[in-house]
Every structure is written in C-alpha cells, then in structure tokens.
Chain A
Amino acid sequence: MDRVVTSDSLAAKKPPRLASGSGQASAESPESPAGSHVEWCKQLIAATISTQLSTITVPDAVSKDYRVFRRPDLRVLRDGNKLAQMEEAPLFPGEAITAIAKDVTYICPFIGAISGTLTVTEYKLYFKSVERDPPFTLDVPLGVVNRIERIAGIQENSCGLEIVCKDMRNLRFAYKQEEHGKLEIFENLMQFAFPVSKNLPLFALKYKENYPVQGWKVYDAVGEYKRQGLPNESWAISKINSNYELCDTYPSVVVVPTSVKDDDLCKVAAFRTRGRIPVLSWIHPESQATITRCSQPMVGPNDKRCKEDEKYLQTIMDANAQSHKLIIFDARQSSVADANKAKGGGYESETSYSNAELLFLEIHNIHVMRESLRKLKDVVYPVIDDSKWLSNIDITHWLQYIRILLAGAVRIADKIESAKTSVVVHCSDGWDRTSQLTSLTMLILDSYYRTIKGFEVLIEKEWLSFGHRFAVRIGHGDENHADADRSPIFLQFIDCVWQMTKQFPAAFEFNELFLLTILDHLYSCLFGTFLYNCEQQRVKEEVQTNTVSLWSYINSQLEEFTNPFYVNYENHVLYPVASLRHLELWVNYYVRWNPRMRPQVPIHQNCKELLSIRAELQKKVEELQREVSSMAVSSSSERASPTHSVSPVQTTV
C-alpha cells in the first residue's frame, strides 16, 4: 500500500500518539487492547482508504485543523525522520526480513521515479524513500501479488521488475544488475509471494497475535440454525456429513428435510454434481418458505431421472404449507445449461419435477467475470481517460454483471417474500454463483445479516462452509497466474453488498472500511479466514489453531467498522434497485491507487462527533442538575425535605 507517513496525513485519521509510524506505535500505545499490530493494521487500512496520497496529503477539514493547531508536535516528526533515515520496514512479531536492496527505483505512474530502499519480508514488500518530503512509503502484502516479471535491462546494467497485483495495481521497480544483492530480491519475492508453489508455509501460519476477541467463535452452525428456528417439524439438523463422506465440499452440519432417510440422501448425492445435495440455507420465520442450495442434477444427454431427487424436492416443497409450487433458480444462462446437459450435467425438467418451475437467471460464468475485471483494471489503472471514463466502464460490463446478480437476488427474494414460495438455487457446482445469490438474498430478507456479526456469519456460512473455493479462485500463494480457475466471484459479491449499502445507507451496521478490510485480507494471507477451499481442508489443516481469524481483528475494534447512521430495520426486506442508473462503480476500491482520486470526506466521522457531543452534553446537563439540586439542598435549611431528586434527561436515539 502506498502511503506517506507524515504527521499530517496520519493525524487526520488517528490520534497523534499513533502518528509516529508503525514501529513506534507499540511503545506509545500500551493501552491499546490489541497491541501494535492492530494499530499498524488500522494505519494500513486508513492508508488504503485515503488512497495513495503520495505527495498530496489530505488537507481536509480535520488535517487542516491539525496543521494549524497541532503543528508543534515535533517529537512525532523527529521520530518519523529517524525512522525514515533507516528506511527500515516495520515488522510483525514473527515476521523476518529476507532481503534488502538499496538504491532501487520505484517507477510510480503518478509521480515519477523515486529512489529508495526495497525490503522483502516473509509477509510483505516494503519500499521507502526519504528522497521526498514527506518520505514515500509503499507497503504491499505479498499475498496480493499475482505475477512477478523480470524485465530485461533497457540499459546494459539495469534491469526491471514488474509486479502485477490482484488488487487493481501494478508496481514497477528498476535496479542495477551487477550488484549481487539485487538478484536476491527477485528470488526472495518469488519465494515468499508464492509459498504454496515453493512448498513453504503461508505467512498466516506464522502470524501470532492475541486479539481480545476470538474470531473463530463467530460462527457456530448449529447456533445459527437455532437462530433461524431450526430444527422444526419439517427440517432437521443432520449429522450425515459429519465426516465429509456424503459431500467433501459441504460443511459437517447441514439441514435437510426430516422425513428423508439417509439412504435416499446418498442416492440424491449420487445424482447431484460432487454430491452437493439440496440443503437449507435460510428459512422464512413466518411463512416457512426456504432457500435451499445445491449443484446441478446430472441429467445428461439422455434425460436421466432420479426418483429420490424428485421426491426430495417434493418434500422441500411440502415443508412449506403456504405454496404448492417450488421455484428452481438456475443461475446459469439457459444455453450454457444445455451445453452442460450434453456433458452429463443439466437442469431439472418441469415434466419430471411436478409442481416445480425452472427459471434461468442468465448469469455468466467465472471466466467472463475474470475477463471483465481484467478490462476494468485496464480502465482504472494507471491512466484514466477522463473524457471517456463512463463509456470505458460500460465496455468492461462489470456493472452490468453486478446488475444481473442483484436482479437475480431480488427475484429470488421476491418469490420468497411475496409469493411465499420455497426456492432451490443452483448453478453448475453450486459454489460460485449459488453462493453469491443465496447470500445476497439472505441479506435482502434478513436484517440480522446486515449487522457486523451477522455479515461475518453470512460469509462463514454461505461462502466458507459451503465450499466456495477461495484458494483456487484467489490463488493464494500460487504462482500459476494464468490459472483458468481464478475469478473475482467473492469481490463481485462484496461489490453488490457495497451497492446495497449505497442504496440503503442506514440499513447496514458496517461501513465501507469494513468491506475494504475484508477485501484487503482476502488477498493478504495474514489471517486464516480465507485460506483453503472448503471446511474439510480447513479442519485438516487445523486453521483455527494455527492461524488468526480476520474476525478477531475486526471484532476487536468494532468502533472502526461501525456505520453511525445505522438503524436496525428489523423485519424490513430491502430490495435494491437493480438498474444501472442506480449502480455506481465503487471508486473507493477500484480507483483508490490513483492520487487524483481523493477520498470523499467521510461524513460518518462528523456524525460520530455529533453523537459524542450529544453524549457529552447529556452528561453535563445531568452533572449540573445534580449540582444545582445539591446546592439547593445545602443552602436551604435542614428542615427542607431532600426530595428534590435529579430528573434524568430523556432522549431518544
């Protein structure tokens, strides 16, 4: 992350005691609950939000204020300079420097060439230059690296390094070739950016930090189903997959209809791709209409049927007394579904599944999405063509795909809420588009998932436990950058959530920083949350004991991630407007590296201030009241009855 450590820029975001840059934070903030890393991460994220400000530090209202009134905080500045002199990287405990190269030139596409020191650690790439004032810093977790290429020297003795990142930017360095140290840099980068390919452990396994909140406890499958009112007479929490034998990519705890026998479940599993049988994701608290998810049936070109599967879906329909229909949403394009049928997959025919209605949501596959994001990156980084900005965005189709996804989720939610009909959602394998759709639908229908805790549960449940293949889709520590299985499916989901927060700014407990943090640590490999492909693998690798959960970090400082406008719209169904007119490109994420894109002044900051002013005033009013009444008591003679009690200030939020 490019950022400039100056007292001004940091003071804008943090109290001055944190302004001294990362290394000093631990010494200066002993009262901080989670220690230096929290502070460091906060700064990291703050820098993320404020985009790469390079020389252009924010003169927004707050920092300006500091510039005027808090200038004489020289201690901080001096410390910063000392640190800068050394151009040294701040480290996590457990993080070791593996290579340092001096006189490396960073070729910044916005401000030109900067010469400084490049440090590679097991976790990150760190570049710092004191050539500029304030010092220029670049701090990139190696997890975001997609590809590293050596560029042969244009001049004889120099050579270049191009680092293509997963988070919408590329980095270029140039260095002199003859020095031995420099070769080391490349080798080290290759090694620690792609540890999986080199048979090395990911940094998340070495990262040891004790957060006051244990994030791995956020999600408890049985507890979540209990919250939904399960088990009930129609649905049971089944142990059939407790050893991941029925389906290795499903969680150990699944909810299936009570009346279906385990033998039949096995037969259904044999009929569904990868054994991903229809299981319950969510149940409507009133109508009992359900969202069930699964993979495609293996109908094949010969229209194979499976009586158990047909009966199974009939049972799902019967579990909801409100409707005599079952809607099956196939997320794919109908043409693609047909092609899949020829290859042994397929979809439920309405003749064999009586009372079922099949609808296609026409969502493109993972390859289309990957290509769309690639085009988007070309549009936003590094050069933006101002006069063609909107049409260039149009050409990438990124927002069109977001629209289709949201429209699909709205259709599903509408069937459940308005028609009180149970739905089955699947695509091919049921772990990409299906996860997107079910989780978005649940977000529309259930206000619980719009809280911070609830959203974490949603990700743990619909994405992690149901086997969205994060390791494959992101390519954690894998050098095979051209892998056709990579795709920004989860990013698309977070983008959809962001669109919803834009349309309903008061309905979500979390803020934009929360979403940005999730995306940053999707790639960073600092936390264990998004590692591996499914629950079975995570259990086998003992992720919960060996790594730290992202939720530990987030839940230890909820304040940072809370939306001050939040009003709990309980039982409100929020239908986002799935029209391009009401969608926007998430500029604060996709264009954040461009220094011309200064962040919009976060009004939630001011709102928080208003809230705290009110709290203070309230306190003061009470204090004064108490004082007045006590004075009244003391000044009057003892005969006066001391019944003049303090009336509390009534306020409503």
Chain B
Amino acid sequence: MSDRLVGVRLLMGEKVKGEARNVRKCSFNKQLCESIAGKLLCTNFRVAFVAVETGTPQVAEEGSLLLGADDVALSCIDRVVAVNNSRTKILTAASNLKFQPQTLLIYCKDFRLLHFQFEPDSRACEIIPLIAQSCQPASPRKLFLFQYSVEVSNDLDHRQLNSNFDGELYPTRMFETQLDWEMELARTGASGWRVSLVNERFEASASLSKILVVPRKILDLDIKRACAHFNEGRIPRWIWHHRGSDLLRMSNFQSNTYAQRDGLSKLEELLYGAQSKLVIVDVEDELPTPPEIQLAHSRLKNVCSYENCSSVRDPDDKWLSALEGTRWLEAVRLCLKKASEVSSLLSNQCLTVALQETDDRDLACLISSLVQVMLDPYWRTMLGFQSLVQKEWVEAGHRFSDRFNHHWTTDKDESPVFLLFLDCVWQLLDHYPVSFEFTDTYLMAIHDSTHILLFRTFLFNCPRERAYIQQTLATDRRTRSNLFSNGWPRTRSTVRGEQVVLKAGFFTREESSCPLPPVWDWSLQFPTKHQRLFRNALYSDTQLLAQNGTSVHSNTEQADAPSLRSVHLLSKGLLLVPAQLLPWKGASVAKKLSRLSQSLESLLEMEQPQRIPLPPFLDPVGLPFPPIPAPGLRLWKSCYLRWLSAGVQRKARDGQIAALASQIQSLERRLRGEADGRNAAPNGLDRQGNQIPHRPNAPIPACLSETATMETSFSTSVSKGRAIAADL
C-alpha cells in the first residue's frame, strides 16, 4: 500500500488492519482543550493518527524513524478505555463493547495519554475493539516483531554484503561470545579466572548465558556438580574485577540438596574465587521486591498521569506527599545506597564480593550494574553502558519478557526493575553531569525502546529463549526467503547513504541467518542528527585516568591458605559473621567471633592482628559516588512528566551545548587543516611536534591555559569513546 494513501510511513511488513475517519485528537495545552480532526489507523505495529489538514504523517519532534509524534506502538499500550456519557470500560482482547463510545483513551506505558473523540453514531468507533485486540496478541509469535524481523533480515543481509565489515564501527560488546569475556578479564586485570563453556548447551543452567567465568582451579565437571546446589543452577560466577577485588553473582543455595564433603570444599573454592576474604551481600536485604517496585511504578504512573496533573480546581498542593507515597524515589534511594555500600567494599581491599539473590535475575542485575557504573568510568561511556546492559541484564538472564509483560500472559510477574535501574543512573547523571559520556536524552531513548518490540535486547527472558526463537525464525525465513524484494522501508532512505554497519561475527553461526537487531543499532530508530544529542558535550574523562593507575595487586597466594580465610555477610550496613558459610551439614564453620551484629569499627578492633582489618565502612572519601540522601534525589521529570508541559528550555540548553561542541569540532578540523598547510609550506618550521604533543589522555582543566595542548585535550573529551574502544 502506498504511504501517501495511508498517510503513515509503514515499516517493512507492517499492514494496516483498520481505519477510522472523522476522529478528533484532543490535546491539552495550558488548560485549553484543542482538538484536531483526522483519521485513526491501527496497523499490526502501531496506532497512528493522521491529521486531516496536513494529510502527511507528522514528523516526530523526537526524531524517531519508527514512530511519528502522534503514533504509539501497540507494545507501548497499557490500557484501552472506552468512554461515553455514563459509562467507562476498560477493554481487553476478549471484551465486547456494548455501548457507543464517544471517547477513546489510550494509556501508554510511557505515561502518555492519547485522547480521541468520535462523532456520535459513526461507525468509526469500531476501531476500538480492534486496537484492544491488537495490543494484546494472543501468542508471542503474533508480535509484529517476528514479521518485521523476517523481512528485515533480508535487508540486513543485504547490508552485510554491501558493506565491508569493520568491527570497530559497532563495538558494543554483546557478551555473547567467549572473546568478550576474555577481553573483560584482561581489561579489568583479574587473575585466577577462566572462561568456561560448560553451559554452552544450557545444560548446567537454563537461564544463564553460554559463557561463564569461573575460578581457574576448578574443573568443568565440578562446576556442573555445583549447579545442583543453587537455584536454577546459577552458580557463583565472576562478573567484574576492581582494584584487586572480584565481584561475583549467584542465586541462593538449594539447601535441600545433599552435598558430599568433597563437593562442599569445591563449593567453597568456587565462592572464595581468587581471594581469601569473602563478603556475601544479600541484595534482597533492605531493597524493595519486584512486586513492590511494580506497585511503586504504577503509583508513580498514577500521580504523573494527566488526570492528576491537569485539574484546575485542585491545585497540586499535596504533590510531594503523593510522590513520596509512591515510594518510587525511596526505591531509587535504597538501590543507590546499597550500591554505594557494595562499591565501598570493593574499592577498599582485596575481597571477593558475592551478590546473592533468590534467583539472581532482578535486583542482582541492578545492584551489580550500578556498582560498576559507580566505580568504573568505562561503563559511563555510551559503548560501555550498552555493554554493561548486555553483560548484567541481557546475558545474565533478566526476565525482560516477563518483567515488561510483553505478551500479556500474566500480570503477576510484571515489574520494571530495569526502568528503576535507568532512573538510578539518571540520578547519578543528574548529580555528576560531567562524569557520563551520555545524556538524559540517551537514557530516555533506552527507556522508550523497552516498549518497542523490534529489537532482541529487551525481548527475551534469557539467552536460551533468544537462541530458540532465533532458530525458529531462521526456519521461517528460509521458507519465505524468495518472496521478498522491496527493500528497506521508506524511512530508511535517509540513513541509507550513511555507513550503518553491523559488526561481523555479531551472531553465532547457527543464528546468523536470522538476526534480530539489537536496540544498540540506534540508526534503526533515530536519524544521526538526533543521535548527536546522546553524547554529552560536557563529559570530561579525568576520572578514567585517576582510576587506572591505582590498581591494587591481588594476593592470590593467600587464597590458597584456607586458614587465613574469612567470610562476612553484609546486612543493613553492617558486616556480620555468619555461623556457617554454606547451609549444608559438614560445611566448615566460620571462625567464632561473635554472632552479634556489630559495627565495622568494633569489628575492626576485635579482629586478630594477623588479619588485614577491613577499612571503616562507608568511608565516602575516594568513593566517586557516595550515597545520595533524599534531598538530593529528584523526579526524572523530563521522562515522566514530559507529556504534560515545560521541559522545552532544558532541551534548548542541551542543544546549545551540543552546538558549541560541534563548533569546536569544526574549528579543530580547521586547525588541523591549517597546520597541515603550514607544514606543507616550503620553509615550514618544524615546531609542530613540540607545539601539539601527542598526549591522547590529557585532562581538560589542567591544560586549559596552555594553548599548546588544546587540540589534544579537546579530542579526548569528544572522541573519547573511540579512543577507549581502540585501547581495548
């Protein structure tokens, strides 16, 4: 169907399922109700509104290539409500509409409310049940994604053939391959660990990734055995290394299993890893549970909703109390606090810190990634952050599908743990705006992408599920591959000329024939101009330097002497000595000091002299991100309240900074050109080497006064991401 006829730029494989004319879309500005006439479309991907005056699709102000400003993806729809004078009905896929509605309200997962009005007695409202049905697909396989991806994959193949591959151009590390993990071990300088393929066929653990990092001295056979003693087989495994300490993740012990003495000692080896001191952190302690997070989020949605914000009669004098009542910010605060506690543990001396959660698939992802964002500047770059999400969420088996309830199967598992994580990162960004390579806009793009089901990143519950689906898709596609020719959708044409390249070896061999694109291929969603806003022009990377030099040597020798071993539990900001490390009979008992909870200072005094005492807890000196107290936390208004009003000026400022940065860039280019010109000149002075020394990592503030290093200093701040990627 021609786009002009439909009025919407359809994606490949997208089909219009229904259309309603004479619909008015209402918008509320400054308490005035304005409405525009037009038609409402329902496709297998979106609900779109086309204004009659323009007749052309509205250009999205956010610059999204997929969706127009008045469009909403079906997967982003939260509730469909039909209203007439007397009745209000929430529609589900199965429900029948027994009255003639005048108003259609579409509540979206991103807090937007779309408001449409129908002419009385028109047949237009027949589209309402269609929308309700479409947004709740009967089976996961009915998702538009799968039609889209089959079609898109041809085009991707096309791109693959036409472009010469350069891995550097698309360097988000997916952590799907052995190589990424090996690189991570090397990058962090961890020793005593190896990459194991014990889970390659998902036999050891169905929810873990194929690749596991385990202590070097433990055999795959023992690892397989150990799996039986942990929920879902999620054994303690290496995640990250920082200044001599290792970060591990694991699920709770399966205490109803039987373990032999020999097996127990292997389990201990597994837990201690490369160190002799172990701190187990129960991440569920003090933090809200996923159902509580869901409750907080839905309350937040409620207080930020249009109805609660717009009433003129009732000024929002109780707003702050209402906001507090959602307990969303409290959840944010507790997560940041917990992450600060863990990061102060990690940064102080050589420890093994193991994060433990019942199934190790929600809060452990959140805390583990927050800790790493706080301590390691690499994760605060764009590519780093994407890699972190891959490592700690996607590959670690966060149940995206269940938590976002993509398939409308059951509500009880729904919980936006990942959005809570984004909010936590936003708070850090808000407080430390120069420490992050990305902006608010970038976090919003990730936030919104969780509701667009075209990408594999946020679609599956675990790597195994992804592998399975991709395989079926590949089969599907082979049967249809000859039907196809019409290329990329029209929206792609703008991007097409630019180099959009997917990394070679992106997909493992059996999957490669059917790639679902990852969300990190931002050019599928946004034009380059908009992507420019993702990059924080004020970013300065001085912290990166500060941290790299001060790596503490880990003392692996000590780990081999079990007599020096110690174990603590982190609970409520205190370190406790557990009675037993492992819950099985015959496991070694930790040294009997005291079972009473004690503050770390007093613990410090009681420690035997030959042990290296733990440093005072929560010492904020040297911690780049200490816990933020409640007065420092703010609501992420540019995300949650963006549909209401304001926020325009803030954007203006960001744009201003971006413009400034690009001016500098062009000046810099010009400077290079001039310098080259000078060198080319016959009697050119050989001064350049002195004048512009090659110091790729010179920090900005130190050399502001020296013109000489200006060029290099700037290149660090802007093209840093590239530099890091190259270093790695």
Q: Which residues of A pack against B, CB within 8 Å? A: 55-57, 59-62, 64-65, 67-70, 380, 384-391, 393-394, 399-400, 403, 503-507, 565, 567, 577, 579-582, 584-585, 587, 591, 594, 596-598, 600-601, 603, 606-607, 609-614, 616-621, 624-625, 627-628, 631-632, 634-635, 649, 651
CB pair A610–B710 under 8 Å, yes or no, is no
Complex interface: chain B residues within 8 A of A582 (CB): 637, 641, 645-646
Complex formed: what's the CA distance from A294 to B573 in Å?
59
Chain B residues at the A interface, C-beta cutoff of 8 Å: 309, 315-321, 323-325, 329-330, 333, 430-435, 537-538, 540, 542-543, 545-546, 549, 620-624, 626-627, 629-632, 634, 637, 641, 644-646, 649-650, 652-653, 656-657, 660-661, 663-664, 667-668, 670-671, 674-675, 677-678, 681-684, 699-702, 704, 707, 710-711, 713-714
| Cross-chain contact B682 with A617 (CB below 8 angstroms) | no
Q: CA A607 – CA B320 in complex, angstroms?
A: 32
Q: How many Å from the CB of B96 to the closest CB on chain A?
A: 38
CB distance from B64 to the nearest CB of A (A): 25
Q: How far is the CA of A384 from the CA of B431 in the complex (A)?
A: 19
Across chains A and B, which 4 residue pairs bring their CB atoms closest together, nearest first?
A: A389-B630, A390-B324, A624-B674, A580-B319
- Complex Cα spacing A151 to B114, Å: 63
In the complex formed, the residue of B with least CB distance to A651 is B663
Across-interface contacts of A69 in B (CB, < 8 A) = 699, 702
Assess the B543–A625 pair: CB atoms within 8 A.
no
Q: Which residues from B are CB-within-8-Å of A68? A: 545-546, 549
- How far is it, in angstroms, between the C-alpha of A455 and the C-alpha of B621 when the chains are bound? 39
Q: Considering the chains assembled together, what is the distance between the CA atoms of A600 and B324 in angstroms?
A: 22
Contact assessment for A64 and B677 in the assembled complex, using a CB-CB cutoff below 8 Å: no
Q: Given A616-B707, A619-B707, A631-B681, does the pair A600, B430 have CB atoms closer than 8 Å?
A: yes
Task: List residues of chain B with CB within 8 A of the CB of A616.
Answer: 707, 710
B323-A614 in contact (CB<8A)? no
Residues of B within 8 A of A57 (CB): 621
Contact of B320 among A393, A567, A627 (CB under 8 A): A393
Question: When the two chains form their complex, are residues A59 and B644 in contact, meaning their CB atoms are under 8 A apart?
Answer: no
What are the residues of chain A within 8 A of B632 when measuring CB–CB? 587, 597-598, 600
Cα–Cα distance between A236 and B75 once the two chains are bound (Å): 66
Does B333 contact A581, Cβ atoms closer than 8 Å? Answer: no
CB proximity of B573 to chain A, nearest CB, Å: 13
- Cβ-neighbour of B670 out of A65, A611, A621 (below 8 A): A621
A624 (CB) vs chain B CBs: closest residue: B674
- Least CB distance from A468 to B in Å reads 27
- The answer to whether A631 and B641 touch across the interface, beta carbons within 8 angstroms, is no
A506, A585, A625: the one contacting B656 at CB < 8 Å is A506
Known A-B contacts A65-B699, A506-B656, A597-B629; the reply to A391 vs B650 at CB < 8 A is no
B671 touches A624 (CB 8 A): yes
Also in contact, A394 and B664, with CB within 8 A (given A386-B333, A585-B631, A632-B681): no
Q: Which chain B residues lie closer than 8 Å to A59 at the CB level?
A: 621-624
**In the complex, what residues of B have CB within 8 A of residue A603's CB?**
433-434, 538
Q: Can you give 15 A-B contacts (C-beta < 8 A)?
A: A386-B333, A387-B330, A391-B320, A391-B324, A393-B320, A580-B315, A581-B316, A582-B641, A600-B430, A601-B431, A607-B538, A609-B704, A617-B667, A620-B671, A635-B682
Main secondary structure of the interface of A (DSSP, over half): helix
Q: Which residues of B contact A65 (CB under 8 A)?
A: 542, 546, 699, 701-702
Does the CB pair B542–A64 fall under 8 Å?
yes
- Contacting residues, chain B, for A399 (C-beta < 8 A): 320
B649 A56 Cβ-Cβ under 8 A: no
Chain B residue at smallest Cβ distance from A603: B433
List chain A residues, Cβ under 8 A from B675.
624
Residues of B within 8 A of A621 (CB): 667, 670-671, 674
B620: chain A residues within 8 A (beta carbon): 56
Which residues of A lie under 8 Å from residue B678 when comparing CB positions? 624, 627-628, 631
Rounded to whole Å, the gap between the CB of B595 and the closest CB of chain A is 29
Known: A581-B637, A594-B629. 12 other contacts (CB 8 A): A57-B621, A65-B699, A504-B649, A603-B538, A610-B657, A613-B704, A613-B710, A616-B707, A617-B667, A617-B714, A627-B678, A651-B663
Does B433 lie within 8 Å of A600, measured CB to CB?
yes
Q: Give CA–CA (A504, B646) in the complex, Å.
A: 9
Q: Which residues of B contact A597 (CB under 8 A)?
A: 629, 631-632
**A387 CB to nearest chain B CB (Å):** 6
Given contacts A390-B324, A506-B656, A580-B316, contact A617 B629 (CB under 8 A): no
B683 touches A634 (CB 8 A): yes
Chain A residues, CB < 8 A from B537: 610
A482 to chain B, nearest CB (A): 29
Q: Does A611 contact B660, Cβ atoms closer than 8 Å?
A: yes
